[in-house]
């Protein structure tokens, strides 16, 4: 699944953006210029990268602590090989999420794109993040677990932005601006053949 991506790494690196998993190449420059106000509010190029890294780190810690979401990440958590050719390493997951949220929050990035993951000692660097359909193709995400992820992510954004000095109104503005894009990814992330881990079952998770 990942081999085809490797071929495009060199070209994509030159362009500082690239294609993944058969997607059309992302647009050059910022992918979400309409969200440039969010990047500026987070402190622009000087401070926003650190703010995004904190949001992603808190979100990953939260989903690994959530009994509904954690089982889907067992292969990632268990991947200490430094090789992400079969499954993400934890460091790669965090790096790709950081790139994706940096783009979504109006930064000068596009997703999928290249990331440098020093912990992936076996992988040629930089490595290419996957598009959402390819990344989740064998994860088996059910609809209700996706919804739980969005709920938890909103809570993390709320807490982190409030701690950074945003007002509740500003936080609500940020959430309102990025939620449609995130929720719009549901169709590509949720699996037609979902895998259920207790306490979920097909009947308890019918979305």
Residues in contact with ligand HEM by CB under 6 A are: 69, 72-73, 75-76, 87-88, 92-93, 96-97, 100, 129-130, 135-136, 139, 141, 145-146, 149, 182, 185, 189
Residue 106 backbone zone (phi > 0: left; psi -120 to 50: alpha; other: beta): left
Distance CA 163, CA 19 (A): 35
Comparing CB distances to ligand HEM, the nearer of 48 and 92 is: 92
Least CB distance from residue 188 to ligand HEM, whole Å?
9
Q: Which is nearer to ligand HEM, 39 or 113 (CB)?
A: 113
When the beta carbons of 167 and 183 are compared against ligand HEM, the nearer one is 183
**Least separation in angstroms between CB 73 and ligand HEM:** 5
Given a contact cutoff of 8 angstroms between Cβ atoms, the answer to whether 95 and 114 are in contact is no
Nearer to ligand HEM, 161 or 189 (CB): 189
- Strands 114-115 and 127-128, bridge-based pairing: antiparallel
Q: Which tokens belong to 6? A: 């490797």
Contact 102, 49 (CB under 8 A): yes
């Amino acid at each position: 699944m990942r081999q085809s991506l490797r071929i495009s790494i060199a070209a994509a690196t030159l362009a500082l953006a690239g294609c993944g998993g058969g997607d059309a190449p992302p647009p050059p420059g910022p992918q979400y210029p309409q969200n440039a106000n969010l990047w500026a509010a987070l402190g622009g190029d000087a401070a926003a990268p650190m703010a995004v890294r904190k949001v992603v780190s808190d979100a990953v810690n939260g989903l690994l602590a959530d009994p509904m979401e954690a089982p889907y990440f067992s292969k990632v958590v268990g991947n200490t090989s430094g090789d992400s050719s079969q499954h993400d390493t934890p460091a790669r997951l965090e790096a790709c999420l950081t790139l994706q949220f940096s783009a979504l929050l109006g930064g000068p990035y596009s997703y999928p794109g290249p990331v440098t993951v020093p912990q992936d000692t076996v992988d040629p660097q930089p490595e290419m993040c996957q598009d959402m359909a390819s990344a989740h193709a064998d994860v088996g995400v059910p609809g209700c677990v996706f919804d739980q992820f969005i709920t938890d992510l909103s809570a993390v954004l709320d807490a982190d932005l409030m701690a950074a000095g945003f007002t509740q109104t500003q936080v609500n503005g940020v959430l309102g601006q990025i939620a449609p894009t995130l929720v719009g990814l549901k169709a590509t992330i949720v699996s037609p053949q979902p895998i259920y881990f207790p306490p979920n079952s097909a009947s308890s998770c019918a979305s």
